[in-house]
Structure 1
Amino acid sequence: MRYKVMVISACYSGVFIPRLANPDTLVVTAADADHSSFGCPDKAKWTYFGNAFFNVALRQARRLKNAFVVARSLVQQRELRARFEP
């Protein structure tokens, strides 16, 4: 298999991008290197991003990029409702 996609749904998960991404690997993260990701309480099945990306966006979009855009928007809306800094 030549091409890979890695999805990391964790706080500050953007720190992994430089080491993992390359011309054959797409890395999708829940947060950049300088921000946390929300939705990680005990017993939670998904983070906010995980739910938005896997349970909502990938079911609607035909392309990963479009799914990411949808998920980012859903997470931002949820964070704003909870009064978190997106």
Structure 2
Amino acid sequence: MRAITEDLRHEHDDVRSTLISPGVVATELGHDITDPDIGTTLTGRRKKSLTPDAIARAVRSAIQQPEGVDINEVIVRPTAADM
């Protein structure tokens, strides 16, 4: 993905491209996992994960930049050190 966003940036002066790299995000996925070990691990990670709203705010921040400003890359991670 980085190569695609960089190519867009180099080829088109009027196109802004931003690579958003989210860390672990809380979703509904995985609630049906039957393996107890994996289920426990996912439950623990969900407690420390990012909310979808956090990612949306990062996207909004990149979009709201003034004309002529491009945020090339945003990495959004939970503050938990092990994530």
TM tier, smaller: 0.3 to 0.5
TM-score (norm. length: structure 1)? 0.35
Which has the higher relative contact order, 1 or 2, with Cα contacts under 8 A spaced 6 or more apart? 2
